[in-house]
Amino acid sequence: MAWLITDLRMAGMDAGPWTDPGSFGFYISTWVVMMTAMMLPSLVPMVLVFRRLEHARSAPPVATSAFVIGYLVVWTASGLVAYAAMKAGQAGASSPGITPAGQWRALRYSPQHCTR
């Protein structure tokens, strides 16, 4: 269901440089969905080993849950850093070549136009 909602929200969205990632709530929810779909499967073998070790020590199953939640929290934090970097980059200058003035600057200062 989350993939369908994301697909509907992203329909027609620009995929070029400096694309707006959307509101913070939308970004973080799609980031968590992506982590769950793409990163959790690679975590499963480690969770199984962790659970076996905890079971051998007679630890409560809460330890395994804490391990998985900790993993998701760390990757959610990395998503927050990425979002902040994108927003900071959008506040700065646009990428050369994106605007007509940027295209002129890129052409004007290209290696074939510079004298050495």
pLDDT in tens, 19-40: 677 788 888 888 888 888 888 8
H/E element, 63: helix 62-91
Asked whether residue 106 carries a pLDDT value surpassing 60, the answer given is no
Mean of the per-residue pLDDT values of the chain = 75
Which residue matches tokens 């992203």? 10
Specify the pTM: 0.56
**28-63 burial string, b = 16+ CB within 10 Å, else e?**
bbbbeeebeeeeeeebeeeeeebbeebeeeeeeeee
Residue 43: partners with Cβ closer than 8 Å, 6 or more residues away: 68, 71
Q: What is the pLDDT of residues 78-88, one digit of tens each?
A: 889 988 887 77
Q: Is 98 exposed, middle or buried (0-12, 13-18, 19+ CB in 10 A)?
A: middle
3-class SS of residue 95: coil
- Residue 101 has what pLDDT? 54
The whole-angstrom separation of Cα 57 and Cα 68 is: 18
- Residue 97 has what pLDDT? 47
